[in-house]
Amino acid sequence: MGEVKTLGQFIIEKQADFPYAKGELSRLLRDIGIAAKMVNREVNKAGLMDILGQAGSTNIQGESQQKLDIFANEQFIKALTSGGECCIVASEENEEIITINAPVAQNAKYIVAIDPLDGSSNIDVNVAVGSIFSIYRKIDINAPATITDVCQPGTQQVAAGYIVYGSSTMLVYTTGKGVNGFTLDPSIGESCLSHPNMTVPADGQIYSVNEGNYVHFPKGVKQYIKYCQVEDSSTNRPYTSRYIGSMVADLHRNLIKGGIFIYPVTANAPKGKLRLVYECNPMAFIIEQAGGKATDGFNRIMEIEVTELHQRSPIFIGSKNMVEMAERFMRDAGVLSFADAEPLLSAG
C-alpha cells in the first residue's frame, strides 16, 4: 500500500515551492480544510437532522436558502475568522463583504471568496453538492482591505479549490503549480492525497448544459449542441450529455473524464447565471492549471474585469479542444448555419 499523505502534510511540503512563504497561506488552506470537514459532517447526515429544507430566508440572489447553506456559510466564516490569516470573506450568501476585525487577524493579508454550498437545491434529493473557494492577496498589505481587494481579476488568485460532497468527499485545489485532489478518510478524519497532478484530457465525449434552456440559447451554443449530437465515429460523436445541476459535481467529473460544461446567457440569465468571483474564477484557475480552458465564449474568464462582488458571467469550461470548438461556433455564429458548419468543422 502506498504512502498515505494527508492534506496537512502536503500543504506543508508544498510550502517549499514558495521560498518567501511564512506559512500564512498554508494555515489558510488548513482552516478551509477544517471548515470543509465540518460541512461534510452535516451534509452527510442531512437526512437525519432537522437541517433539510428551506430555511425560510432568502440570500442576496433572491434564492431560497436551505438550512445547510446557512450552516456551511457560518462554518467557513468561523474557521476563516479564528484562523487569523484572512482579512475579508466574500460569500455568495452575504450581500456585502465581511471584514474580519478579530485581533488575531490584524496582520492578515488574504482575501477569501466562497460559495459555501453550491448546488444546494440538490440537497433534499441526495445529489452531490460542493463548496468553492478563491484566495487573493491584499493589493496593498499596509492598507486596510476593501472591496477593491476582492474585485481583482481571476489572474491574481493565489489559490483556488473546491470540495465535492459526493460518493466520497474530495478537496481539490491549486496554488498555481498544478492541481491535486484529496479524499476524506472518515476513519481517521483526514483528507489524503488520492489524485496527484490532476489533468483534464484535451478531448472528451461529455457535454454538460441545461438543454431545457435551448430555445433561449445563443445561436452558437445551439449549433455546438447539434455538433455534439452528430454521428461521426472519427470524432467520437455523438457525445454523451451529462448534467447534474451542481457545477462542482459536473466540473469534477469533466476534470477527471474530459468534457465541457456550458452555462451561457439565457432569457432568465441575460448575463449568465454563475458568479464570476466565487464560482467561475476559482473553477477557471483549477481547470487551466489542469491543462483545460475557461472562457465566456469569447474571452478568458480569468481576465474578465470584476466590477461588482456578485457579478455573473457566461462560462464555457473544460477540455481545451472542446472549449475551442464551442468558441468557434460562438465566433462564427453570424455566418455559420449548422449545415455550413459541418464541412468547415470536418476539415478540422
Kindly tell me which of 162 and 173 has the beta carbon lying closer to ligand P6P.
162
Cβ proximity of 29 and 79 under 8 Å: no
Cα distance between residue 8 and residue 33, in whole Å: 9
Q: Which of 247, 287, 323, 336 binds ligand P6P (CB under 6 A)?
A: 247
| Candidate segments 43-51, 98-106, 243-251, 330-338, binder of ligand P6P by CB under 6 A | 243-251
DSSP element (H, E) containing 343: helix 338-346
The sign one gets for the Cα dihedral 308, 324, 262, 199 is negative
Kindly tell me which of 34 and 225 has the beta carbon lying closer to ligand P6P.
225
Q: Which of 245, 310, 321, 332 binds ligand P6P (CB under 6 A)?
A: 245
Cβ proximity of 220 and 331 under 8 Å: yes
| Candidate segments 51-59, 116-124, 194-202, 338-346, binder of ligand P6P by CB under 6 A | 116-124
| Candidate segments 150-158, 218-226, 242-250, 298-306, binder of ligand P6P by CB under 6 A | 242-250
Asked if 255 touches ligand P6P (CB under 6 A), the answer is no
Cβ proximity of 86 and 31 under 8 Å: yes
DSSP element (H, E) containing 172: strand 169-174
Q: How far is the CB of 279 from ligand P6P (least distance, A)?
A: 7
Kindly tell me which of 59 and 75 has the beta carbon lying closer to ligand P6P.
59
Asked if 118 touches ligand P6P (CB under 6 A), the answer is yes
Cβ contacts of residue 292 below 8 Å, gap of 6+? 200, 255, 317, 318, 319, 320, 323
Cβ proximity of 128 and 244 under 8 Å: yes
- Would residue 316 be called left, alpha or beta, if left means φ above 0 and alpha means ψ between -120 and 50 degrees? beta
Q: How far is the CB of 249 from ligand P6P (least distance, A)?
A: 8
Q: How far is the CB of 63 from ligand P6P (least distance, A)?
A: 7
Cα distance between residue 94 and residue 31, in whole Å: 20
Contacts to ligand P6P from residues 208-227, by CB under 6 A: 210
Contact characters 19-58, ligand P6P, x per CB under 6 A: ----------------------------------------
Asked if 93 touches ligand P6P (CB under 6 A), the answer is no
Kindly tell me which of 26 and 246 has the beta carbon lying closer to ligand P6P.
246
Contact characters 273-302, ligand P6P, x per CB under 6 A: xx----------------------------
Name the residue type at position 213: N
Q: Which of 146, 148, 187, 181 is nearest to 166 (CA)?
A: 181
Contact residues toward ligand P6P (CB under 6 A) are 118-119, 121, 210, 245-247, 273-274
